Amino acid sequence: MAATAISFINIKGGVGKTACVVNIGAILAKKHKKKVLIVDLDPQSSSSLWLLNPKQYIKHTQNNCLSVKILFDDRINGNHNFQFDKIAIKGVPISLEGNPHIPNLHLLPASPRLFITEDEIYRNKESLYFEYLYLGLQPYYNKYDYILFDCPPNMYSITKNAIFASEHCIVPSVPDFLSLAGIKILANLLRDFTSSVNTEYSGRPVTTISAAIISHYRSNVIDQGTQIGELKSKFLQLKDKRLISPNAPVLEPSIRLCAAVAASTSEHLPVILHKPRANGAIDYQKLTADFLKYF
């Protein structure tokens, strides 16, 4: 059976997209024994920096040799250099002794040079530019239970490639006014893009927002409860306007602001391995159980 492919998107930056991909991916693989591929599509390379040790990161990004950028380069330049088995790191993160902590968690790393890919796709002016990623990864869909795309904070060409390659979009958000305002803009942009795709010809599903996740939740700040209420009512309004899927949940629980999650990035570990008893580890495990009810 083909993987369930999900893009984690938000035009707003710093809302927990990468943290969700890394931690949900790790829990699906470690606790629920799923085969998971994380595809890092952000030139910032946050999930690659998080899950790889510095040596591995340099190996995979230096001279742009072993990253997902090659997949895009092939499509743009007509090359055949993308070798999934060479580029995907099978079993991340790696322990100090050199063994994979989670053998069934795989990573297709990003490269900062993906910034150039955006320009190249634009200059190339090919009408089906948004199919590149799906066409490159299609042969590997049946090797995984889940493919999770960590997207940059925009709706440019690379994000559109992720959406086309996905059945679902999940929107991580933080409970504040500007983030909530951004969800409506995002839902409209997503609808504009998906309605421009000829699904009959492409055979791909019409991707919609299938869930939201609240991150960076501070339970001691009264206003946060109000913002979460606003998010839920915004979700209902967007469902009425058919801008998001009618069954889309706000996954529970909200992920609390937690120092251990932030600290786990520089330890190159998902929080369940870094501090298994921290609030962030507990929240992400419960959230992943909720995720499994829907996906």
Q: Give the interface segment with ligand ATP, choosing from 58-66, 203-211, 229-237, 253-261 (CB under 6 A).
A: 253-261
- Residue 229 binds ligand ATP (CB under 6 A): no
Q: Strand 105-108 vs strand 89-90: parallel, antiparallel, or unpaired?
A: antiparallel
Residues 33-62 as x/- pattern, contact with Mg ion by CB under 5 A: -------------x----------------
Among 265, 272, 278, 281, binds ligand ATP (CB under 6 A): 265
The Cα diameter of the chain in Å comes to 55
Among 91, 100, 112, 153, binds ligand ATP (CB under 6 A): 153
- Residue 261 binds ligand ATP (CB under 6 A): yes
Among 19, 27, 107, 278, binds ligand ATP (CB under 6 A): 19
Q: Give the interface segment with ligand ATP, choosing from 160-168, 189-197, 205-213, 259-267 (CB under 6 A).
A: 259-267
Among 6, 7, 8, 18, binds Mg ion (CB under 5 A): 18
Least distance between ligand ATP and beta carbon 127 (Å)? 28
What is the spatial distance between Cα 286 and Cα 34, in angstroms, rounded to a whole number? Answer: 16
Label each residue of 40-85 as H, E or C: ECCCCCHHHHHHCCHHHHHHHHHHHCCCCHHHHHHHHHCCCCCCHH
| Residues 106 and 92 sit within 8 Å (Cβ to Cβ) | yes
- Residue 257 binds ligand ATP (CB under 6 A): yes
Q: Which does 14 bind (CB under 5 to 8 A by kind): Mg ion, ligand ATP, none?
A: ligand ATP
Least distance between ligand ATP and beta carbon 261 (Å)? 4
For helices 279-294 and 17-30, angle between their N-to-C axes, nearest 10 degrees: 80
Which residue of the chain is nearest Mg ion when measured via CB?
18
Residue 257 to residues 172, 213, 274, 275, 278, Cα–Cα distance (Å): 14, 13, 16, 14, 11
Least distance between Mg ion and beta carbon 17 (Å)? 5
- Residue 258 binds ligand ATP (CB under 6 A): yes
Q: Which does 190 bind (CB under 5 to 8 A by kind): Mg ion, ligand ATP, none?
A: none
DSSP designation for 260: H
Among 215, 227, 245, 254, binds ligand ATP (CB under 6 A): 215
| Residues 5 and 167 sit within 8 Å (Cβ to Cβ) | yes
What is the spatial distance between Cα 47 and Cα 229, in angstroms, rounded to a whole number? Answer: 30
- Residue 43 binds ligand ATP (CB under 6 A): no
- Residue 268 binds Mg ion (CB under 5 A): no
Q: What's the chain's Rg over C-alpha atoms? A: 18
For 100-207, list the strands marked E by DSSP. 105-108, 146-150, 168-173
What is the spatial distance between Cα 99 and Cα 182, in angstroms, rounded to a whole number? Answer: 41
Which residue from 166, 135, 162, 136 is spatially nearest to 150, judged by alpha carbons?
162
Among 280, 285, 287, 291, binds ligand ATP (CB under 6 A): 280
Binding site for Mg ion (CB under 5 A): 17-18, 46
Q: Which residues bind ligand ATP (CB under 6 A)?
A: 13-19, 42, 44, 46, 153, 215-216, 255, 257-258, 261-262, 265, 280
